[in-house]
Structure 1
């Protein structure tokens, strides 16, 4: 399964999580009220609530296990002459399902006095607003998954991270050769670049670029950035399959 398919697959699971959240509150939780033991009722209530998120999330993670591994390579965008790393399914997929599950609780219910069943807490215009909010959030989840943002690209000019609202670009000729260091531990989500100060000064200015949501191995990415900062003669070839093969061989050696 490719990364794009793995991202889009998260949307039906987000819908399922929302439906399970509402269904558990409407049908399953009232069953826990019939238990005579308060402790047993609490455990059953927690189990019902957890199942609504753990079942769709677990199945999604199982189906996309291979697609969530971050590869030591880029995708080639030959038309735009750039290397790209799309949004990582390992990040956007689980979060989409969690948001879907939370959305399922927007339509509130309450216990019918004296009975082991529930009813809608709001009616009329308030209920319509709740349903509209649920529909909009679930639709936005789908749009977000389809938009493939944030997205990381390398081209002949530099490295760019395109988010939903922001675009961050760092030019190769603004970076000091020798960096960035290979991310490790908790720092795998960022690249710490050394940028030439303006006006020029004796010390480089650290520049942090968020890359943790990109579907690429962070060590490979750091190596690629170091390579193109130092080897300006190879930058014009970025975005071609031959250059990607050469880059991978250079970094492997």
Structure 2
């Protein structure tokens, strides 16, 4: 049994973008904890082993909660709003939901929980520690691993503050902004009558008949002929997005009105 598609009882509507949203606030909170927590741990020694263990486990426990919230946010795809966002320019946007913010916040907290054991150099002064060259060499591998992890997480943090992941419908085509890259798919490159509504709601597979027109930048995986839009982090009803893309694939005369309130109203009426 398929979910009910949005219809007259759930009309599509447009909303305006905001400067900062829940994903950004979540990441900011995680960054504050990540900066403050190592300072607390290294300057305040609680009494007893269990008290110290509890203090050091706070970021990891918060990370587990954040990952749990991220998983829960990917559910209920069929209850997501049948709407796109007017950005004030010539585009309609599918913005990210809070799930990606929760996920990145969890990554930041995990990195924070792993930083203090590596950054705590008191054990190097222990008389039983190995000689100087070896004792510092023991710190090098985990430090390099943390540096690589920090670089990758830094890219994810930057993605959150740039409003990624998201999908923009523009007069020329579809722009897909992913955490590690972007792709641009012109309308003329897509097969007429597609994409069809897909039952899973996890992703939307596009059919490209002219892959040479597809532009890709950054670290991206997947085929040029059947690119996939991952819907887990996006705040949109899966069938509404499929219908909206198919509408502009089949109605070239409506593409110049993308981003205009009047054009969006015509789209809403056509899909309703």
What range describes the TM-score normalised by the shorter chain of this pair? 0.5 to 0.7
**Cross-structure match for 1:210:** 229
Count of aligned residue pairs for this structure pair: 220
Question: Which consecutive aligned stretches of 4+ in structure 1 deviate over 4 angstroms post-superposition?
Answer: 19-30, 44-50, 54-62, 118-123, 132-142
Q: SS in structure 2 opposite 1:108?
A: helix
Correspondence 1:83-162 to 2 at 5 A = 83-91=92-100, 93-104=101-112, 105-108=114-117, 120-121=122-123, 142-162=157-177
Alpha-carbon distance between aligned partners in 2 of 1:153 and 1:246, rounded to the nearest angstrom: 18
Answer yes or no: is the 8 Å Cα contact 1:15–1:138 preserved in 2. Answer: no
Greater displacement, 228-237 / 14-23 = 14-23
Match of 1:113 in 2: none
Aligned partner of residue 227 in structure 2, secondary structure: strand
1:191 is paired with a residue whose SS is strand
The structure-2 alpha-carbon separation of the partners of 1:178 and 1:120, relative to structure 1 and needing over 3 Å to count, comes to farther
- Report SS of the residue matched to 1:107: helix
State the shift of 1:6 in Å: 0.7
Distance 1:143 1:99, change over 3 A: same
Cα deviation, 1:148-178, whole Å, max 9, x if unaligned, reads 1233111122111123553212222222222
User: Post-superposition shift, 1:50?
Assistant: 5.7
Question: Is 1:232 aligned to residue 241 of structure 2?
Answer: no
Partners of 2:267 and 2:82 in 1: how far apart? 11
Residues 10 and 49 of structure 1: CA distance in aligned 2, closer, same or farther (over 3 Å): closer
Structure 1: tracts of 5 or more residues without a match? 35-40, 63-68, 111-117, 200-204
1:193 aligns with 2:206: yes
CA shift at 1:221, angstroms?
Answer: 0.7
| Contact 1:24 1:49 survives alignment (8 Å) | no
What displacement does 1:227 show? 0.9
Aligned to 2:23: 7
Match in the other structure for 1:82: 91
8 Å CA contact 2:244–2:271 kept in 1: the answer is yes
How far apart, CA to CA, are the structure 2 residues paired with 1:9 and 1:51? Answer: 19
Q: Which residue of 1 aligns with 2:240?
A: 220
1:248 aligns with 2:268: yes
Match of 2:50 among 28, 32, 56: 32
Change (3 A) 1:59 1:225: closer
Q: CA deviation at 1:182?
A: 1.9
What is the CA deviation profile of residues 49-97 of structure 1, one whole-angstrom value per residue up to 9, with x for unaligned ones?
Answer: 76333466789999xxxxxx74321111333x11112333222x11122
**1:66-81 map, 5 Å:** 70-79=80-89, 81=90
**CA–CA distance in structure 2, aligned partners of residues 20 and 164 of structure 1:** 26
User: Helix, strand or coil for the counterpart of 1:74?
Assistant: strand
Which consecutive unaligned segments of at least 5 residues does structure 2 have? 1-16, 73-78, 126-135, 213-223
